[in-house]
Amino acid sequence: MAGLLESLNARFPCRERQIDDLAALISQDDIPAPPVLVLYGTEATGKSTIAKAVLDEFEIPYAYVSCKECVTARHVFEKAYTSCDALITPSNGEDKGRQVRPDSVNALAGQLQKLIPNSGKIVLVLDAVDKQREMTPTMLSGLARIGEVIKNLTVIMIVTVSSTRLLNISEPPSVHFPAYNKEECVKILSLNPKSIFEVDEEDEYSEEMEEEDQWLWGQCCSAVWDIMGKYAARNLNALKDVVDELWPSLIQPIVDNEYGTRDFPKLFNRLKNEKLRNSEESYVSMQITRAPVNTAADATTSVPNRAHDLPYFSKYLLCAAYLASFNTARYDTRYFSKLAESTGKRKRVTKRKNTSRQLNRKHLGPRPFQLERMLAIFQAILPSSVLSSVDIGSQIATLSSLRLIRKVSNVASATDASSKWRVNVGYEYVKVVGRSVKFDLETHLEE
């Protein structure tokens, strides 16, 4: 027993308590296991991995269902049943006849009761059961009570947060997996450091090199945690992603023989200046198209991105839609009237408005407008008037299928003058679009 625990602890550092608890709850041969067991904790805290590892290590038969993989509740029941079935009567490829498809918790409990023999422990692990897509109010508590119906079945539920409300059981035995702190993260990541030099088959991977790798990797992990632990690399997986991403550029100077392996401060400063200064933002937003490590060379040679352009009038239509969404209809004459006197008036009013404590319209989100109003603004902001034709209508349709503008009312016809619309893109995008046709959005926008 102690030997098993030791090996588990060596494989999964910083989780001694959880492993102990789990082992105590389910691995005692003489004590019956609890009917339900809750493991909870945030993302990337080792819940599923440790549960599976402990069950494997103590050789307890278990069926594992990842609820994230399931589309509907019935899908979960089916998977739970078939995996238990496979566990108890391992099929040898022959047809088992008609398949059983429980379509409710009751049916599942009934079927499992028929299936599971009266002796021996069996565990059913329901991973991420709270992330199940088709959740009914009674489903979780129903699943939690299956273990009460069937004597030797234990249901392990893995969830993000635990509360008594969740399962409607007063106090189910539960194990908490807290998030790792910095030391723990670095320790775990240090289990498999990446190497600095490519190791060929012939070269000996010397102990010295291993030590260097270990040291540098640890330094790198903790430095990245210090910089980004608060936002981009909040959990172990995210931290690992970022470190993996940065590692090749960090060690490049060492490979090029510019720096030694112990010059970590210099190396990291260089990395910071090169990669992190401008693109720290991109690590936060986690862009998809950051080139993966192996194809980094290809990505740099690709042509810089040239934007695809919208047609000329579409740009004006989009500007008009933005203005219609963010200006109040009351002031339309002031902003779009082509009479000269309007400018004088505008100045006076804005002055008075500044004293009142109103939020900027921009921050309140777009409001719906009538199509006719947008068309009127469109005609007003165009440098030269254009007769409306089918082309304008089709451009409105295109903008709406690109979801740059969006219909909000349920009027049958999209081009009905009274249908309500709303702009669906932000200020920055529209500003760029306006600038490309030399239209100054700012002067027409309400303060």
Partner 1 sequence: MDTDSVLNDESGSLEHQACYIYTPTSEALSLSTPKKRRAASSSRTPRSKREKIDPKNCETVGGQGHGFPTLLRDLEDEDAVNARYEAFQRLWRDVERRTDDVLAQVNDETLQSVSTFVSKASQEIYGEKLPTGLILTGPNIAAHSVLFQQIETRIQSVDKRGRVAILTSKDSSNLKNVLKKIIRCVTEIHDGFDDEDDIVEAKTGRNPSRYNYDPEIIHDWCSTHPNTKVVVAVQDTEAFDPAVLVELISILHQYLPKIPFILLLGIATSEDIFYEKLPHSTIRLLRGDRFDVQRFEESMEQVFEEAVLSSRSVLKLGPRVSDVIFERQKDHTRSVSSFVMALKYAYMSHFYANALSVILGSVDSEESVDHILSDAHCEAIRNLPSFKPFVEAKVSTFPWRARDLLTSNKALKSAVYTASRECQRYSTNLAEAINLFRKLQSIVSPQQANEIPTYELYSRILWGEFTTRPAFRDAMLTTKKISSEKFHTLLSTLSDLPSELSSTLSTAAEKVQELQSEKAAKGSSLVSEFALPDSHRTTVKSGRVRLDEQKSRMTSQDTEYQKLVTSTVQQLETYFKDRFKPYTNLFLHEIFFYDLKSPHSQVFAAKPRPSVERALSRPGDYLGCACCGGNEEEAGISASQPYAAILYQLYLESPALIGVYDLWSAFRVVSLGDKAEDQEADEDDEEEKELQAQFYRALAELRYLGFVKYSKKKTDHLVKLAWKGL
Residues in contact with partner 1 by the rule CB under 8 A: 66, 68-69, 71-72, 74-75, 78, 82, 93, 95, 99, 101, 133, 238, 241, 285-295, 299, 303, 305-314, 372, 375-376, 378-379, 387-392, 394-395, 398, 401-404, 416-418, 425-426, 429
Q: Which amino acid is at 55?
A: L
Q: Which is nearer to partner 1, 1 or 288 (CB)?
A: 288
Tokens of 170: 């007063």
Q: Least distance (Å) from partner 1 to the CB of residue 134?
A: 10
Instruction: For 145-202, give the secondary structure using H, E and C.
Output: HHHHHCCCEEEEEEECCCCHHHHCCCCCCEEECCCCCHHHHHHHHCCCCCCCCCCCCC
Nearest-approach distance from CB 185 to partner 1, in angstroms:
17
Closest approach, Cβ 413 to partner 1, in A, equals 8
Q: Number of helices (H) and strands (E) in the chain: give both, helices first.
A: 20, 8
Specify the DSSP element, H or E, that contains 37: strand 36-40
Please report how close the Cβ of residue 229 comes to partner 1 at its closest, in angstroms. Answer: 16
Nearest to 144 by CA among 62, 38, 54, 55: 38
Q: How far is the CB of 285 from partner 1 (least distance, A)?
A: 6
Residue written as token pair 């090029």: 256
Q: How far is the CB of 252 from partner 1 (least distance, A)?
A: 19
220 vs 375, beta carbon nearer partner 1: 375
Nearer CB in complex with partner 1: 359/387: 387
Q: How far apart are CA 322 and CA 404, in angstroms?
A: 10
Identify which of residues 9 and 82 has a Cβ nearer to partner 1 in the complex: 82
Question: Could you tell me the smallest distance in angstroms from the CB atom of residue 58 to partner 1?
Answer: 25
Q: Is the CB of 125 or the CB of 392 nearer to partner 1?
A: 392
* Residue closest to 270 by CA, chosen among 284, 286, 251, 290: 251
CA–CA gap between residue 61 and residue 80 (Å, rounded): 14
Q: Which is nearer to partner 1, 141 or 235 (CB)?
A: 235
| Shortest Å distance, C-beta 225 to partner 1 | 17
- From CA 302, how far away is CA 291, in angstroms rounded? 11
Q: Alpha-carbon distance 51 to 25, whole Å?
A: 12
- Compute φ and ψ for 112, nearest 5 degrees: -65, -35
Sheet containing 369-370: give its strands across. Answer: 369-370, 420-423, 405-407
Element (H, E) at 283: helix 277-285
The residue to which tokens 């194809």 are assigned: 295
CB of 440 to partner 1, least distance (A): 20
Q: Which residue has the tokens 């009570």?
A: 145
Residue number with CB closer to partner 1 (213 or 245): 245
Closer to partner 1 by Cβ: residue 175 or 221: 221
Instruction: Calculate the alpha carbon distances from 58 to 8, 51, 65 in Å.
Output: 11, 11, 19
Which is closer to partner 1, CB of 176 or CB of 290? Answer: 290
Block residue for tokens 């494989």: 11
Structure tokens at 383: 């440098």
- Which of 357/403 has CB closer to partner 1? 403
Rounded least distance, CB 148 to partner 1, Å:
28
